[in-house]
Structure formats: C-alpha cells, structure tokens
Amino acid sequence: MTPPIAAVVGQLARDLVLTVEAVPEGGAAADAGERREQLGGKGANQAVALAQFGVRPKLIAVAGDDTIGDVLLGQARADGIDTTGVVRRRGSLTGLIVEVLEADGTWRYLQHLPEPVLLTRRDVEAARALIEGAGAVVVQLQQPAEATLAAAGMGRQAGALIVLDGVPEESHLATADVIRADEQEAGLLLGGAATVDKARALLDKGPKLLALGVDDGNLFVWADGHLHLPLTTEKVVDTTGGGDAFTAALTAALLRGEDYPAAARWAVAASGATVGHPSGRPSLRTEELEKRVRELAGE
C-alpha cells in the first residue's frame, strides 16, 4: 500500500536547546546540563512526526543559503522528509530558535526568524505541484497570512485534507477541514475559554473538526459529536513540541481513515509521548502509542 502524502507548510530552523537548573540573574552565568542542536521549527517538527507515522511528508519552508541550512536539510532528508519544496533564500541566515529549559519545565525562547526566512505567496506558488499532489496539507498559521491562505486554497481546490494549526483569519475558515488551536490560541479564536457551543458556531463557517486546548486537556468538536480528553499522565519535562506531535498524529490518523474520536486519542497520546523529553523533536513509536490510545479509550 502506497503511504499517504502530506504537504507541510511552515517553519524550518536550527533548534538549540540548553537545560539549566535555573536561569541566572543578569550579570551572572550558569552551566548548561544538556545541549541539543537539531532540525527544528514547527513545520520541520511536524514533518518529522508525520514520517514517523508512515506518512510521506513534503516540507514547504525557507532556509538560508548558509552551511547550517545545508546541515538541516541533510537531517530532514535522513528523517524521510522530501525537501524539494524548501526555498534557499540567498544572502540569508537560516532561522534560529534557542530554548533555555529549567529543571521545573519552565522554558524561554530566543528566536531569530526574520522576514527573509518566512514563506511568501511566491514561495507557495512555486510548490503548487507538491501541494496539489498531497492527501493532506498542514499549514502553520504563524507564517504570513498571504502565504498560508494560498497554500490552504490550493489544497482545498485539489481535494486535500486541510489542517490549519493556530488562529485562522476569517478568510481561512472556508478552506479548513481541521483547526488545531492550543489553549491560548483557542481563547483568541473563540473569544474566551473553549466550549462546545462556541465551537459549534465556528463549525458553521467551514471547518469539520476543531481540536482545542482547554485548561484540563483537549476538546474535540465536530458536527454531531464532541469528545473531551484529559492530558496524559506522563511526567512533563518540556511542553515544546507537544502541539506539533499532536497535529501530526491527528493528521496521520485522519489520512488512515480513523474516525474523529480515534484520531483525537492518537493526537493526545503523541503529545503526551513528546513532552516527556527536552526539545520539540518527536520520537514516536507506534507500538507504544497504541497502548496509550487504548488506555485513553478505556480499554
């Protein structure tokens, strides 16, 4: 059976993670206990997770024309990601995200993601064949709206499953099949804490499934049903990347033909598996996740 294809439209960056017992005060220094340098950014993280689920991801993103860009694209290809849709921006440094992670799980980001390493509509147009050939198009809405709307519109016209990650503008809603928003984003999207009634009103504008963060877990709402799933019980080391694994697992399950409740359980299980280690890079094993999914289903 040919694996499904997903086009992932989002950020690629060099991810540098430093763990410390506590962030030092100004004018002081602290030793890092662990250091990780790897392929990162929301787009790349989701593409890595999709590959681990057996989906063929095609990444549409921007890298600089520097050596770091060469290294990261090599890592992406080793991860099973098609990088033909990655633009190499001349004269630009590849994006950088520095995470400082304290022992209690508190994180701080320093990021250098200037305009040249963000997608433009022209970049998306250049990747039209990749988008139109995909079974799903996963779009991170942290990219400029002109680019994300173009990507979602192309995918919609081609009949792909459209998954939007973040807070969509009104113009995006009619293009979407699925919207994933974390708790903060859900508050912006719905004008307050997510409820079934508020979510149902948003469904009238186009989406078929909403996956919304709430204070005690996640709320999934569709036309004739809804499901609340609590957070998994794993020890949380670093919440970075939990949302990316969630979105990738949800997409992969829907591409496999899972119904909404089953896809929701896969999403929560993948997120729980990812927050147990430092950094946003996923390390997902289907056998382990199947056990978590059964537990979430009460089996």
Q: Determine the pLDDT at residue 275.
A: 86
Q: Determine the pLDDT at residue 239.
A: 83
For 267-288, b where at least 16 C-beta lie within 10 A, e where not — what string? Answer: bbbbbbbbbeebbbbbebeeee
Cα separation, 260 vs 283, in Å, equals 24
CA 92 to centroid of chain Cα atoms: 24
Confidence (pTM)? 0.95
CA 117 to centroid of chain Cα atoms: 18
What angle, 0 to 180 degrees and rounded to 10, lies between the N-to-C axes of helices 286-296 and 260-274? 120
Report if residue 124 sits inside a domain. Answer: yes
Residues 84-122: pLDDT tens digits? 999 999 999 999 999 999 999 899 999 999 999 999 999
Q: Determine the pLDDT at residue 148.
A: 98
Report if residue 32 sits inside a domain. Answer: no
Residues 14-25: pLDDT tens digits? 999 999 999 999
Residues 175-187: pLDDT tens digits? 999 999 999 999 9
Report if residue 272 sits inside a domain. Answer: yes
β strands within 201-298, DSSP E: 209-214, 217-222, 225-230
- Looking at the chain, the whole-number percentage of residues with pLDDT higher than 70 is 100
* Mean pLDDT, rounded, for 269-290: 88
CB atoms within 10 A of CB 228: 14
Report if residue 28 sits inside a domain. Answer: no
Locate all alpha helices (DSSP H) within 10-120, ordered by sequence: 42-52, 67-78
**Count: domains in the chain:** 1
Q: Side by side, which strands form the sheet with 107-112? A: 34-40, 13-20, 96-102, 107-112
Report if residue 26 sits inside a domain. Answer: no
Report if residue 58 sits inside a domain. Answer: yes
Report if residue 105 sits inside a domain. Answer: no
Domain span including residue 120:
5-12+41-91+116-296
Report if residue 250 sits inside a domain. Answer: yes
Query: Domain with 279 in it: what CATH number?
Result: 3.40.1190.20
Is there a contact between 172 and 166 (Cβ–Cβ < 8 Å)? no
